[in-house]
Amino acid sequence: MDYSPRSIEKKWKKYWDENAVYKVYNDTSKPKYYVLDMFPYPSGAGLHVGHPLGYIASDIFARFKRMKGFNVLHPMGYDAFGLPAEQYAVTMGVHPAVSTNQNIKMFRSQMDNLGFSFDWSRQVNTSDPNYYKWTQWIFLKLYEHYYDNDADKAMPISDLIVKFEGNGTAGVNAATSEDVSFTAEAWQKMSPRERADILMNYRLVYRKESMVNWCEALGTVLANDEVKDGVSERGGHPVVQKPIIQWSMRTTAYAERLLSGLNNVDWPDALRAQQTNWIGRSEGGHMVFDIDGHGDKIKVFTTRPDTVFGATFMVLAPEHELVAKITTNDQKQAIDDYLEYVNSRSELDRISEVKNVTGAFTGAYAVNPMTEENIPIWISEYVLAGYGTGAIMAVPDGDLRDKKFAEHFGLNIIPVVDQTMYPDAGPEDKVGKMINSGFLNGMEVKDAIEATLEEIERKGIGERKINYKLRDANYSRQRYWGEPVPIKYDADGVDSRLPDNELPLELPEMEDFEPGNSTEAPLARNKEWIHSYEGYRLEADTMPGFAGSSWYFMRYMDPNNDEAFASKEAMDYWESVDLYIGGAEHAVGHLMYSRTWHKFLFDIGLVPTDEPFKKLVNQGMIQGVIEHMYLKKEKTDGFSHFICARHAAELNILDKIAKIPVYVDFVNAYGTPDSYMDISSIKRFIEWRPEYKNAIFECSGGVYQKGEYKSHGTANDLHMFTDSEVGKMSKRYFNVVNPDDIVNNYGADCFRMYEMFLGPLEQAKPWDTKGIEGVSKFLRKLWSLFYADGELAVSDEAPTKEEFKVLHTAIKKISTDIERLAFNTCVSAFMVCVNDLKKLNSHKREILDPLTRMLSPFAPHLAEELWQVLGQEASVTTADFPVADESYLKEDSITYPICINGKKRATADFAVDTSKEDMEKASLELEAIQKWIDGKTIRKVIIVPKRMVNIVVG
């Protein structure tokens, strides 16, 4: 029988399906292991060969753990709400629910094709009302809690109300949007609307007017991580700043715990560093400056309080509330002009372009609390409204931006830190001795910072403060395709929640779901739905894409529960994710949001751990080969003129060339530097791009045009070299490889092993279809250990020591490498093992049985078939993973070269445990040695264990 992946794979998929082989029970008698993939959003493009890389890796690991005796949870689902799914629907002119379902079917069939061991009975779909009921429920829990800084956890808003009733804000230390303080009496006197507004300042999801990234083309507000270089990440549309009222999530309340939690997870250093920078903790102090002739004061945040004697001016963010108040009549025009300029700039422009120094003087002066000198107050775009207090004391000697500003506008510069002892240090290094700084003079910077903080606290003009760059996450989308927010407003605008028994608040069917060109969300147009509660108006914004993905991994534990998002028993058993594999692009999005939600759910006792993902691995991207043809920008005799890439480079005319990406399969032997198109590929190219049917193709070896060629030799000599590079796999470059095509040709097992063989999981690597042949040959060779010349060849003879050694060497290598997720070296170890067995002509059952079990995580279909060939009845997935027997790996004897004065004169085999004395004696007795030492004096015999015996004679 020959190896036929197609029929084998079909047979075993059916078997797995019919026998529910991958169904997972919450069987607490076994130790658990949870392997999670980042679930895909079901886009219309389907999977390409890059997507399954992580899925194959996690599947191998899940299967391995199962065979090691663990009860393994390995689920899959769909992140189906959100912008991408909706945009696809809009482009295709179908309803998102319809396109999402179609896409889910396609994804499912593509994944099924690859032989994954997912328990599909646990599938989640974030756009399914039975799922988003719980997303809404968790949202309401966030809404009903605030962050108590003293308890360092989330607490019920109802407790806060009790505090307000008793003592007002006295004794309340909570995470808020704004500092507020009031008495119990004031609270009692407030209207319901006023109270609602106060509570919003505390809720963990809250409404607030905020400047948002407004994208006209997408008709929505974008999160910061959806904006790249001032345009939307999807589609590259312009983004401007606009104030609207919307929901936010108080992620900042968790900043410190998000940071410290990174010490307790096994994540890649690069990822932890990204989150650390994103959180951006900085230690310093608040300091208050009087304004000359005004009652108001300016509060600044500084990381360098020690430099206060060098603070020669102040800068407010243009949006700072005091700007209008303190600007003098003389300066009003200058300030107004400047504000107009700033409005045209995005936050990103403002922080990235430091080259141009811009600003305007308010005409007002502050008083430096240490020098008691008057210092001018300016406004400038480099001070951001959303960070610290939106105001700074400017120290030209300590901060480069302040220095540039002072130089540009001719402001005073006082040196305050002498760094001559630290020739390599810059201002940011926080080293040096204080000068011109009163009581700080002579102190080292670090001590001076501490001394200043003590002094300002003593004087009552400031206090220590830790700031974070992290911002609260935007939680509103003015879009249709998302979870409705279960909040209603009465006629006075007082918000309240929907009761639990009204959940899910279902997204209504709407024909016209596209975003309009205002900030109003599409749901607001559905008057019937918006007013479905008598006397109330429902919230029209929907939740952001990250809502559903912030907790989906908990739902897999108990996916069909209607009483809770998952039962306590299920969560106590599965606990949290042991291994999470996914793309590095989610570092500060999904992975921040889900950690925040998880910490919140932990605070209120709903999940058993503080961190959701113990170990995390980012798989590298699979890249594509990009092929370009060279087209001359100028036509020749009115014809488009393609030129051989090599030739163009030689002629040095690259500036006169346009690069046209072409389908990689038009190109022969692609891969740098020898990719070329022959006449048949040029013909296929013309069929694909008929606008070039008359073009001139100037190849190496001749010219081709309109079906005719002029060549020095035959048509076969015409080679049109292309330009190959490794880059993104993308439709744009016509280099997308669909896994289904590979599976059709080679089988899923071959595809799986080949993807792993490409290189280390974490590394980016180019897809190269050529290499797959090697893996396919390997599988056929493996098959030939079972079937020789089409006949069953398995024998019950006892294996030799050598055969056992080959097998156990592979078991040892593969089992350690799987644990390290080094699947590429596992595949090589399989290849070495099969080659060696082939050389030994081994067909023994005692060897093939463990080999088949070991193969099962990698090539599951083939392993099932071979397992059956070996006469087994149950699925190989229920068998144990083989264990290496070290006794087979020990060398019995070693062949030593026996040298005289360093020259090899003979060899001898010694058992590994032979003593040095015995080796020396035996060596000297060898006949071949005797003749060399005859009559000479033996000065020394050197024995290097496992290496050599050297006899020194003279």
Q: Which CB, 129 or 280, lies closer to ligand ANZ? A: 280
Nearest approach in angstroms of CB 497 to ligand ANZ is 35
The reply on whether position 359 binds ligand ANZ by CB under 6 A is: no
Binding status of residue 588 toward ligand ANZ by CB under 6 A? no
**Candidate residues 77, 390, 486, 548; the one interacting with ligand ANZ per rule CB under 6 A:** 390
Exactly one of 196, 393, 775, 898 binds ligand ANZ (CB under 6 A); that residue is 393
Q: How near is the Cβ of 430 to ligand ANZ at its closest, in Å?
A: 9
Whole-angstrom distance, CA of residue 275 vs CA of residue 270: 9
The residue among 591, 730, 588, 732 whose CA lies nearest residue 659 is 732
Distance (Å, whole) CA 605 – CA 592: 20
Candidate ranges 241-249, 392-400, 517-525, 938-946; the one touching ligand ANZ (CB under 6 A)? 392-400
Quote the least distance from Cβ 392 to ligand ANZ, whole Å.
4
Please say which residue, 219 or 462, places its beta carbon nearer to ligand ANZ. Answer: 462
Distance CA 615, CA 34 (A): 10
Q: Where in 902-941 is the site for ligand ANZ (CB under 6 A)?
A: none
Q: Does the protein bind ligand ANZ through residue 578 (CB under 6 A)?
A: no
Per the structure block, which two tokens stand in for 707? 């079906």
Taking CB under 6 A as the binding criterion, the range among 44-52, 380-388, 928-936, 942-950 that sits at the site for ligand ANZ is 380-388
Q: Which is nearer to ligand ANZ, 304 or 590 (CB)?
A: 304
Only one of the segments 43-51, 136-144, 341-349, 386-394 lies at the binding site for ligand ANZ (rule: CB under 6 A); that segment is 386-394
Count other C-beta atoms under 10 Å from residue 710's C-beta: 10
State how far the Cα of 744 lies from the Cα of 97, in Å rounded to an integer.
30
Smaller CB distance to ligand ANZ: residue 274 or 700?
A: 274
CB of 249 to ligand ANZ, least distance (A): 22
CB of 284 to ligand ANZ, least distance (A): 6
Provide, rounded to whole angstroms, the least separation between the CB of residue 389 and ligand ANZ: 7
- Name the minimum Å distance from CB 356 to ligand ANZ: 16
Query: What are the Cα distances from residue 300, in Å, to 221, 290, 446, 537?
Result: 30, 11, 20, 41
List the 473-474 sheet strands across, edge first: 220-222, 205-215, 240-249, 473-474
The span from the CA of 313 to the CA of 396, in Å, is 9
Task: Centre a 10 Å sphere on the Cβ of residue 693 and count the other Cβ atoms it contains.
Answer: 13
Alpha carbons within 13 A on the beta-carbon side of 391: 20
Smallest distance, Å, CB 253 to ligand ANZ?
19
Cβ-based neighbours of 200, under 8 Å, separated by 6 or more: 177, 206, 207, 208, 495
What is the contact mask toward ligand ANZ in residues 695 to 734, using x (rule: CB under 6 A)?
A: ----------------------------------------
Q: Which stretch binds ligand ANZ (CB under 6 A): 215-223, 389-397, 551-559, 835-843?
A: 389-397
Q: Phi/psi zone of residue 321: left (φ > 0), alpha (ψ -120 to 50 degrees), beta?
A: alpha
The least CB distance from residue 301 to ligand ANZ, in Å, is 5
* 377 part of the interface to ligand ANZ, by CB under 6 A: no
Q: How far apart are CA 571 and CA 553, in angstroms?
A: 11
Cβ proximity to ligand ANZ, 88 vs 382, nearer residue: 382
Verify binding: residue 398, ligand ANZ, rule CB under 6 A.
yes
Query: Which one-letter DSSP state was computed for residue 607?
Result: S
Span near ligand ANZ by CB under 6 A; candidates 390-398, 595-603, 819-827, 860-868: 390-398
Q: Judged by CB, which is closer to ligand ANZ: 309, or 597? A: 309
Residues that contact ligand ANZ, how many (by CB under 6 A): 20
399 near ligand ANZ, rule: CB under 6 A: yes
- Smallest gap from Cβ 390 to ligand ANZ, in A, equals 5
In whole angstroms, how close is the CB of 273 to ligand ANZ at the nearest point?
16
Give Cβ neighbours of residue 272 (< 8 Å, ≥ 6 apart).
262, 265
Three-class secondary structure assignment of 555-571: HCCCCCCCCCCCCHHHH
In the region spanning residues 286 to 345, those forming contacts with ligand ANZ, defined by CB under 6 A, are 301-304, 307, 317
Amino acid at 493: G
Q: Which of 177, 201, 282, 809: binder of ligand ANZ (CB under 6 A)?
A: 282
Contact assessment for residue 241 and residue 347, using Cβ atoms and an 8 Å cutoff: yes
Shortest distance, position 448 Cβ to ligand ANZ, whole Å: 11
Residue 368 to residue 300: CA distance in whole angstroms: 12
Binding segment (CB under 6 A) for ligand ANZ, from list 247-255, 381-389, 821-829, 872-880 = 381-389
Would you state the torsion angle of the CA atoms of residues 452, 456, 458, 461, taken in this order, to the nearest 10 degrees? Answer: 180
Q: Which of 736, 738, 729, 790 is nearest to 764 (CA)?
A: 729
Residue closer to ligand ANZ (CB basis): 432 or 545: 432
CA dihedral 403, 408, 411, 412 (to 10 degrees): 40
Site membership for ligand ANZ, residue 396 (CB under 6 A): no
Nearer to ligand ANZ, 315 or 485 (CB): 315
H/E stretch holding 32:
strand 32-37
Q: Residue 664 carries which side chain, given as an amino acid letter?
A: V
Report if residue 599 touches ligand ANZ, rule: CB under 6 A: no
Using rule CB under 6 A, residue 104 touches ligand ANZ: no
Alpha helix positions (H), 93-191: 96-112, 129-143, 157-167, 184-189
Residue 470 tokens, joined: 């992290």
Instruction: State how far the Cα of 301 lies from the Cα of 392, in Å rounded to an integer.
Output: 6
Q: Which of 296, 270, 301, 273 is nearest to 286 (CA)?
A: 301
Binding mask 814-853 vs ligand ANZ (x if CB under 6 A, - otherwise)? ----------------------------------------
Task: Report the alpha-carbon distance of residue 261 to residue 243 in Å, rounded.
Answer: 34
315 versus 579: smaller Cβ distance to ligand ANZ: 315
Regarding 387 and contact with ligand ANZ (CB under 6 A), the answer is yes
Measured distance CA(675)–CA(21) in Å, rounded: 46
Does 384 bind ligand ANZ (CB under 6 A)? Our answer is: yes
In the shown chain, the binding pattern of residues 233 to 272 toward ligand ANZ, with x for contact by CB under 6 A and - for none, equals ----------------------------------------
Q: How far is 712 from 245, CA to CA, in rounded Å? A: 74
CB-CB neighbours of 575 under 10 Å? 16
Among 395, 411, 851, 941, binds ligand ANZ (CB under 6 A): 395
The nearer residue to ligand ANZ, 154 or 392, going by C-beta atoms, is 392
Which range touches ligand ANZ (CB under 6 A), out of 215-223, 376-384, 592-600, 814-822?
376-384
Give the nearest distance from C-beta 223 to ligand ANZ in angstroms.
21
CB atoms within 10 A of CB 49: 22
Q: How far is the CB of 387 from ligand ANZ (least distance, A)?
A: 4
Binders of ligand ANZ among 444-473, rule CB under 6 A? Answer: 467
What residues between 422 and 441 interact with ligand ANZ by CB under 6 A? 427
Minimal CB distance residue for ligand ANZ: 398
**809 binds ligand ANZ per the rule CB under 6 A:** no
Q: Are 25 and 3 in contact (CB under 8 A)?
A: no
Is 419 a binder of ligand ANZ (CB under 6 A)? no
Residue 357's nearest CA partner among 301, 402, 413 is 402
The footprint of ligand ANZ (CB under 6 A) covers: 282, 301-304, 307, 317, 382-384, 387-388, 390, 392-393, 395, 398-399, 427, 467
